[in-house]
Amino acid sequence: MLKEARIRNFAALPNDHYRFCGGLNVIVGENGLGKSQLLKVLYAVLKVHADAKEFTKGSLEKAYAAKLTGVLRPDKLGRLVKRKQGNAPCEIALTLAEGEKSCAFSFSPGSSVSVQVDAAPTANKHRPAVFIPTRELVTLCPWFVPLYDNYHLRFEEAWRDTVSLLGNPPVKGEKEQRVAKMLEPLEKAIGGRMEIDNASGEIYVQIPGEGRMEMPLLAEGLRKLAMLGRLISTGTLLDKGYLFWDEPESNLNPKLIKTIAASIVAVADAGVQVFIATHSLFLLRELEMLLATKTYARLPHRWLALAAQDNGVAVEQSDRMEDIQTLVLLDEELAQSDRFMELEESP
């Protein structure tokens, strides 16, 4: 479990200690304050650990640099250093519950292909990490991975990572019952069962009474549900790893946001440490109501808010949503409701 990230001079993020819980972690804030960057830097580092064949400082120095560059897509690594700090280096340190898996490294504005590792994790088994971007990826299966691996493409490397997972076969045995229960609301919303064509590697939806439907024919919002469903059916989101999801509500109507909210909480309850970034009041309220139910009353959850201030960006953190005072996005949505009510009441 990731307990804390100490980040200094990284992109738009404020210098702070970001503390997390083992269940659901929700990051909110206005555009441009670093929500996506926080998800991506955490994902990149943990993905390096999950994929590493060796944990020497030399191999990690190159691996951290390559993954950060691949996931965040700067022209060179040093571009990720906060611009207003002169030559001060960027410092990143992750503290995990298993202390031997923690790490710390830094890099300067001039860095390009390596970082300086100050603390390396051990080679003990590391949890898998999954990143879901704002758009769906099921229509990129299976052709995107070989294309990315063989040509220089200006796509985030996390897309390649996730597409490679979507094509895995479904689990069987003891996990099948758990998977089926988690898939039920997603398949109901989609209108059918997700299947993969073993010959072509493409993903389809098997609709009762209509046969197989190609993924591109589904609305994008439904394809996002299918993407999550595939990651659940393959067991990827049952192995006590990490899920990072950037704006899960994008391109979804309120009804489907409810389905996504329920699935997010179910994945966290299954033992996956979940991190989402959002500015949807509807999603936040759905999560808050689900966490208040008897089913999820004991699920750990934490709220982080990034807010613009006169001297830069600040972060608020709490285990209780009501303690977060700077949710400007909520104020704006609530203010719109007040204006609408005033319009209704005016003669």
Whether 115 maps to a domain, the answer reads: yes
Residue 340 has pLDDT above 80, yes or no: no
Name the token pair of 320. 């209780």
Give the strand pairing for 242-246 and 273-278: parallel
DSSP-assigned letter for residue 81: B
Looking at residue 311, its pLDDT comes to 78
Q: Can you tell me the distance from the alpha carbon of 63 to that of 49, in angstroms, rounded to the nearest whole number?
A: 9
Whether 47 maps to a domain, the answer reads: yes
The verdict on whether omega for the bond into residue 142 sits within 30 degrees of 0, i.e. cis, is yes
Q: Can you tell me the distance from the alpha carbon of 320 to that of 310, in angstroms, rounded to the nearest whole number?
A: 26
Number of domains making up the chain: 1
Looking at residue 320, its pLDDT comes to 85
Whether 241 maps to a domain, the answer reads: no
Residue 6, classed as helix, strand or coil, is strand
Q: pLDDT of 114-123, one tens digit each?
A: 899 999 998 8
Residue 25, classed as helix, strand or coil, is strand
Q: pLDDT of 287-338, one tens digit each?
A: 999 999 999 999 999 999 988 877 778 889 988 887 777 654 556 666 666 6
Looking at residue 217, its pLDDT comes to 92
Q: pLDDT of 45-101, one tens digit each?
A: 999 999 999 999 999 999 999 999 999 999 999 999 987 756 789 999 999 999 999
Q: Which residues span the domain enclosing 306?
A: 1-22+33-128+292-347
Looking at residue 326, its pLDDT comes to 60
Phi/psi of residue 181, nearest 5 degrees: -65, -40
Outline where DSSP puts E strands in 100-237: 103-107, 116-119, 129-132, 193-196, 203-207, 211-214
Does 313 or 272 have the greater pLDDT score?
A: 272
Whether 57 maps to a domain, the answer reads: yes
Average pLDDT over residues 198-227: 91
Give percent of the chain with pLDDT exceeding 70: 93
Whether 9 maps to a domain, the answer reads: yes
Whether 286 maps to a domain, the answer reads: no
Looking at residue 222, its pLDDT comes to 92
Looking at residue 314, its pLDDT comes to 84
Give the chain's largest Cα–Cα span.
73
Q: Can you tell me the distance from the alpha carbon of 244 to that of 272, in angstroms, rounded to the nearest whole number?
A: 10
- Residues 6+ positions from 143 with CB-CB distance below 8 Å: none
Looking at residue 75, its pLDDT comes to 92
Q: Can you tell me the distance from the alpha carbon of 248 to that of 136, in angstroms, rounded to the nearest whole number?
A: 10
Whether 208 maps to a domain, the answer reads: no
Whether 156 maps to a domain, the answer reads: no
Average pLDDT over residues 28-37: 86
Residue 138 has pLDDT above 80, yes or no: yes
- Round the CA-based radius of gyration of the chain to a whole number and report it: 21
Name the token pair of 326. 């700077």
The β-bridge partners of 301 are 24
